Amino acid sequence: MHFDLAQTDHLLSTTRAVRKRLDLTRAVPRELILDCVRISTQSPAGGNYQKWRWVIVDDPDRKLVIAEAYRRSYAPYIAKQQEAVARAGNTAESNPIIDSSTHLAEVLEQVPVLAIPCALGQPADAGETGGSQQGWWGSIVPAVWSYCLAARSRGLGTAWTTLHLPYENEVGDALGIPDTVTQIACIPTAFYTGDDFKLARRKPAEDVTYWNSWKQTDIDS
Ligand SMILES: Cc1cc2nc3c(=O)[nH]c(=O)nc-3n(C[C@H](O)[C@H](O)[C@H](O)COP(=O)(O)O)c2cc1C
């Protein structure tokens, strides 16, 4: 089978953090979410143990608990970001990330689905089974990103968020998540408005690729 590289590269390089373009008015069928989770189950995991679960939250009261926790973290976080922006001589209005993050914080409970990927256990447990923290995190993060990619290819926008996590226990209580389980993120998921997304400005691959030794960027070395 040959992949259409133009299509797959486009998917991989334009799956953005969608905040302002989440359609808050259109319900997301549970089957579509299940399709994204199904794709995520194919991601790699240490020992091939899928030691994770998805808690999909589409109940308004429970979404509100998550959104309120998120906003409590967001306020001091964004104040610090704004200070940094001001120190750099810019205004908040000229910073699109602050603008769109604030929008998401304000409407979070209105997003049709808040998906919470959860790892069974705690990062500190990794050593007990002869593993490492890197292996522990590396066994869940690919599944979460696969979910985001699968969503995008189905017309759903997502944003990887973590700001509710300082209140993980409170949110866990509302969702019946045991304290032996670690919440990894909260992924707001909704149909996106508009047609397409653009490539973001990133460091050139040539600058972040070292050949055989640290800082050796010359491909002909
Ligand atoms: C680990 C992680 C945590 C993040 N936490 C948040 C968050 O709490 N709120 C938010 O609005 N965006 C969050 N983001 C999204 C980033 O801000 C976003 O990926 C980054 O600005 C690049 O934008 P792009 O994905 O659209 O290219 C997070 C992303 C990652 C990978």
Which pLDDT tens digit goes with each residue over 6-20?
999 999 999 999 999
Domain that holds residue 92: 16-208
Residue 214 lies in a domain: no
- Condensed to tens digits (0 to 9), the pLDDT of residues 4-61 reads 999 999 999 999 999 999 999 999 999 999 999 999 999 999 999 999 999 999 999 9
- Which atom of ligand 1 is closest in space to residue 16's alpha carbon? 26
Residue 1 lies in a domain: no
More confident residue, 90 or 177: 177
Distance from Cα 70 to the centre of ligand 1, integer Å? 14
Residue 217 lies in a domain: no
**Number of independent structural domains in the chain:** 1
- Token pair in block for residue 64: 């509100």
Q: What are the backbone dihedrals phi and psi of residue 33, each rounded to the nearest 5 degrees, phi first? A: -65, -40
Residue 99 lies in a domain: yes
Q: Cα separation of 179 and 199, whole Å?
A: 39
Residue 2 lies in a domain: no
- Condensed to tens digits (0 to 9), the pLDDT of residues 56-112 reads 999 999 999 999 999 999 999 999 988 888 888 876 556 888 999 999 999 999 999
Residue 72 lies in a domain: yes
- Token pair in block for residue 127: 């050593």
Q: Cα separation of 218 and 131, whole Å?
A: 35
pLDDT-above-70 percentage for the chain: 98
Neighbours of 167 (CB within 10 A): 19
- Which atom of ligand 1 is closest in space to residue 202's alpha carbon? 27
Q: Which residues pair with 183 in a beta bridge?
A: 118
CB contact set of 10 (below 8 Å; sequence gap of 6+): none
Which residue has tokens 């409590």?
72
Task: Report the CATH number at residue 49.
Answer: 3.40.109.10
- Which atom of ligand 1 is closest in space to residue 104's alpha carbon? 11
- Residue ranges of the alpha helices (H) in 56-204? 60-87, 96-107, 133-138, 141-152, 168-175
Residue 173 lies in a domain: yes
Residue 8 lies in a domain: no
More confident residue, 130 or 178: 178
Which residue has tokens 């104040």?
79
Sign of the CA dihedral running 210, 48, 164, 29: positive
Residues 178, 184, 190, 191: what is their CA dihedral angle, to the nearest 10 degrees? -140
